């Protein structure tokens, strides 16, 4: 079992070969990185976390007010771009490491309401993109992408339980 603590959450990957914080140290390259990568026998999982139930951890691009509709739209677009480029840069980084030898699944743990996550997921699937975007591609960049909240994560991935830690938790690799 591999345990990782990141951004106020504890992840237990019970069947992982390896699991580590990818965004936690200076890797020397000017690239965005997803929060966690976990390796399994048949796949890599990239995990990005956004906790909207804890605004102190929120990484926003500007001073956006949640009750402003146009600001919400701007924030949606910003978040989508943020998640997209995190994935792509991470994937390039892993390519340079020669660590893209298994299908890659991208899971965004976004702690807020389900249906808004659905909209985000749809946009991400189109723009990452998921699957083989061109007939010239031999492999897809991402095999699948899902945006889930904490409840959905634990319901759908019982072998990878996630719990919320105290807000003061510091990042730690196990």
Partner 1 sequence: MITHLELKNFMAFTDVKIDFSPKINVIIGKNGTGKTHLLKAAYFLSGVAPLFKNNSHISDKELVKELASALTPELLRLFLPLDAKLNKMRHHGGSAKATLEAHFAHDQQIAVSFSTRSKSLEIKIKDRNSWEQYQSKPVFFPTKEVLSFMEGFNSLYQMYQVSFDQTYQDICLLLDLPQIRPENLHEKSKWAMEELKAICGGRFIFYGGGKVTFRTEDSEYSANSIAEGFRKAGMLYRLLETGALQPGVSGSLLWDEPESNMNPKLMKSLVTILLELSRNGQQVILATHDYVLLKWFDLLMDEKSKGDHILFHTLYREPETMEIRLSSTEDYLDIKPNPIDDAFGDLIDQDIEKDMGGLGK
Minimum CB separation of residue 10 from partner 1 in Å reads 16
CA distance 174 to 122: 33
Minimum CB separation of residue 54 from partner 1 in Å reads 16
Q: Which residue lies nearer to partner 1 by CB, 24 or 103?
A: 103
Q: Which residue lies nearer to partner 1 by CB, 77 or 155?
A: 155
Minimum CB separation of residue 121 from partner 1 in Å reads 8
Minimum CB separation of residue 34 from partner 1 in Å reads 17
Q: Which residue lies nearer to partner 1 by CB, 125 or 171?
A: 125
* Residues found near partner 1 in the complex (CB under 8 A): 40, 42-43, 45, 69, 105, 113-115, 117-118, 143-144, 146, 148, 152, 155-160
Q: Which residue lies nearer to partner 1 by CB, 31 or 99?
A: 99
CA distance 90 to 129: 14
Nearest-CA neighbor of 154 among 10, 5, 3? Answer: 10
CA distance 14 to 32: 27
């Amino acid at each position: 079992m591999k345990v990782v603590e990141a951004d106020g959450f504890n992840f237990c990957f019970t069947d992982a070969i390896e699991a580590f914080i990818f965004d936690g140290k200076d890797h020397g390259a000017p690239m965005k990185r997803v929060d966690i990568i976990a390796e399994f026998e048949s796949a890599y999982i990239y995990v990005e976390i956004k906790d909207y139930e804890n605004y102190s951890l929120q990484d926003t691009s500007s001073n956006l007010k949640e009750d402003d509709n146009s600001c919400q739209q701007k924030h949606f677009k910003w978040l989508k771009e943020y998640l997209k480029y995190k994935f792509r840069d991470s994937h390039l980084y892993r390519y340079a490491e020669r660590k893209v030898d298994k299908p890659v699944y991208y899971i965004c743990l976004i702690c807020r309401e389900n249906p808004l996550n659905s909209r985000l997921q749809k946009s991400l699937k189109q723009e990452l993109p998921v699957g083989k975007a061109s007939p010239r591609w031999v492999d897809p960049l991402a095999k699948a992408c899902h945006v889930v909240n904490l409840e959905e994560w634990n319901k759908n991935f019982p072998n990878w339980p996630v719990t919320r830690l105290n807000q003061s938790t510091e990042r730690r690799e196990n």
